Structure formats: structure tokens, C-alpha cells
Amino acid sequence: MSGRNLNVVNAASLVRVRDRGEVRRGAMQNELDIVHGGAVAIRDGVIVAAGATSDVLAGFGEPGVPTIDATGRSVLPGLVDCHSHPIFDGERHDEYAERLGGASLADVAARGGGIWRSVVATRGASDEALLGRLRWSYRRLLAGGITTLEVKSGYGLTVAEELRELDLLQRSRSLTPLDLVITFLGAHVVPRDLDAPPDQRGDLYTALVDEMMMPAVVAQGVAQFHDVTVESGYFTPEQALRLMRRSLEVGLPVRVHADAWATSRGWATAVAGGAVSADHLTYTPDDEIREVGRASTVAVVLPIAELLYMTDRRANARLLIDQN
């Protein structure tokens, strides 16, 4: 279809999903704002009207505009995937088979698997290989209806490797029409190759992210967000809050990985630290959700991750919504 002008008309259901200028919370999330017999007008690649077909065509029905008749179909905004890890190398399908055979996440990690295995593979991968994987991932995501995608680093865990991943994510913008939002995830896990006793590595690496990675990332100017893990066995609430405070000091909004595998005070820490969002929340206790109450931090639940982790626990999305 040539040009950047388009009319989509006669949709059985046009879903506008408006936000009233603020984050949709509580009962507002039920408001889909469906228009039956709806239409969308696009000019120069920008949506300029959405509503009833008669109303849209009254203002934008000029002849010669390419038109799609959406009779019997639904039209809705492009999907936003606000949590993705597309830049990595290596495959871990064998670990999934191990889990099906009864191994725990801790068992897999103890033998060098899990996230650390991906870190080692990614460090050894060429730029071309990583860009090729990104291109492939973007095509699949776009085919699924996603138009805005948050993309994280986090499989480098050294200053040089994290900067390389962020640079490759920036370069990958030219590979896709997706709107990419780039996040620095230096505090993904604690690297196993730090030259320190295991019980000291968490504090040592937190200091490295704070004092070395963060200034370098800010100077690079690519990352739009900073993501921090709050998870038992990874980063404590105290370590995470140190990084969150520094991030806000340097003007980098914060996201949080929280309570994916264990109750870790991740949700409360994210809210206390002023995070934009807290993701996973599978093991966030109901009492903690009630204790925090209404929050500006967006709770992002990841049901597909729960299936992959093979946990019988599910984030209490209903309680989070009810708390607004």
C-alpha cells in the first residue's frame, strides 16, 4: 500500500482505549470505548481521527485516499509489550526439559544454567549475530500485533558489555518499524565471575553498577530507563534502593523486576523507590499489596513467564487492580 495516508472504515468494533491523560487504574481498565461501525483516518502516518465511520469520513473522506473496508472485523491500537529481553545469544531449551523432569530453577542455576548461561553466550557473540537475532525477534513481535516494544540489556553485566548491548539496541531501530523503548538492566543478576567471595559479590556488584556503569550509561545517552532486580538471592531491597536513588538523581526513570521467584519485598521496594513500574509480582504477598495500597507505580504481571517458570503461583492481579 503506497503512501502514508489511509482510511479504515466500517469496523464492526473500533476500540479506542483512551487514558484521560493519566495511567489507567482500577475500574478505568474496563473502559474499552468501543465504537460500532467505526473508522480511523491516517494522514502522513499519524492517526488524525477515530470514531463513527460517518463522522470520520465527513472530515477525511476526500477521494483518492487508500481505504480498507473492515466490515465484520475489529480495529484496535497496536499492542505495547512493556517487558522484553530480546538481545541475547544461546538457547536454553534443554533447561526447560530439565524443569519438566523435576529440576528446580535453583538446580538449573547451580550447574551454571539460567540467566548466567545466557550472559556467557551473549558476551561471546558477535555484533552481527546479536543484530540478526533482534531482527528475527522484531519480525515475530510485529506479526503478533505489537507496535511499541520495551527492550532491555542485561546479558553483559560489565561496563563494556552493557554499553555494547545498549548500542546494538539503538542500532536495531533501523531494522524495524517498531517503536523501541530502551532500558539499561545492569542489575539483572550478580555475575558469577566477580573476584570476591560469594557472600560479598552482591554489594561489590551493586557498587560497580552505581559508581561505574551508571555514569557510563548516562554519558552514552541511549538508555531511556534503568531496570533493577529485587529478588531473593539476587539483589536485596537495600541494594536496589541504592541503585534506584542514584538513577533518579541522574535523571533515568526506574523500572523493577520484583518477586518473580520468591517473596522479596519487591513490590514495596519498587513503590518506595519511585519506580515507574514493577514487573512479575508472582510472589508478592496479599498483605504487602494491601500494605502498599494505592500507588503510582504500575504493576505489570507476566503470566507467560509464570508458565515458563512452571510455578503454580500466580500474581494477584485482581487485588492489585482493586488497590488502584
Burial group, residue 205, by CB count within 10 angstroms (0-12, 13-18, 19+): buried
| 255, 227 Cβ separation under 8 angstroms | yes
Least Cα distance to 256 among 286, 220, 281, 284 occurs for 281
CA dist., res. 189 & res. 228, Å (int): 9
- Residue 12: burial class (beta carbons within 10 Å; 0-12, 13-18, 19+): middle
Q: Domains in the chain and their CATH numbers?
A: 6-77 (2.30.40.10), 80-322 (3.20.20.140)
Task: Show the cell assigned to 36.
Answer: 460500532
Q: Which residues of 281-299 are buried (b: 16+ CB within 10 A; e: fewer)?
A: bbbbeeebbeebeebebbb
Rounded to 10°, the helix 115-123/159-171 angle is: 80
Sign of CA dihedral 240, 300, 191, 109: positive
Q: Which residues contact 198 (CB under 8 A, 6 or more apart)?
A: none
Backbone phi and psi for residue 53, each to the nearest 5 degrees, phi listed first: -55, -45
Burial class (CB in 10 A: 0-12, 13-18, 19+), 68: middle
Per the confidence metrics, is the pTM higher than 0.75?
Answer: yes
In terms of Cα–Cα distance, which of 261, 267, 291 is closest to 279? 267
Give the span between the Cα atoms of 99 and 103, in whole angstroms. Answer: 5
**pLDDT 10s per residue in the chain (324 long)?**
446 999 999 999 999 888 778 888 888 888 888 999 999 999 999 999 999 999 999 999 999 999 999 999 999 999 999 999 999 998 888 888 888 888 887 788 777 788 889 999 999 999 999 999 999 999 999 999 999 999 999 999 999 999 999 999 999 999 999 999 999 999 999 999 999 998 899 999 999 999 999 999 999 999 999 999 999 989 999 999 999 999 999 999 999 999 999 999 999 999 999 999 999 999 999 999 999 999 999 999 999 999 888 888 999 999 999 997
Considering only the C-alpha atoms of the chain, give the largest distance between any 2 of them, rounded to a whole number of Å. 73
* CA neighbor of 232 nearest in space, from 203, 261, 212: 261
C-alpha cell recorded at residue 275: 519506580
